[in-house]
Amino acid sequence: MDLLAHHELERLSSSERLELISQLWDSLDDGQIHLSVVQREELSRRLETLEEDKKEAVSWAELKDELERCP
């Protein structure tokens, strides 16, 4: 089932395609997203460590600067 023809998708820029993906994803209710047991376990693990992980987080600008300094 193609809602949009391939040529219609190709005319969109990469950023427009990503925005479309984001809009589609955001349109789903939690009950419409089916996760495997492994995925649910991983999400639970990440939520449990979220506050601790935030302490070690760096901004995108910091990471980008660091990566640009790498050979």
* Domain boundaries defined on the chain: 6-69
Q: Distance of CA 17 to CAs 9, 28, 29, 41, Å?
A: 8, 17, 21, 30
pLDDT tens digit sequence for 39-67? 999 999 999 999 999 999 999 999 999 99
B/e letters for 46-69, b = 16+ CB within 10 Å, e = fewer, are eeeeeeeeeeeeeeeeeeeeeeee
Q: Distance of CA 57 to CAs 19, 22, 48, 66, Å?
A: 25, 24, 16, 14
DSSP designation for 30: G
Q: What is the pTM of this model?
A: 0.51
What pLDDT does residue 38 have?
A: 97
pLDDT tens digit sequence for 14-29? 999 999 999 999 999 9
What pLDDT does residue 39 have?
A: 96
Average pLDDT, the chain: 92
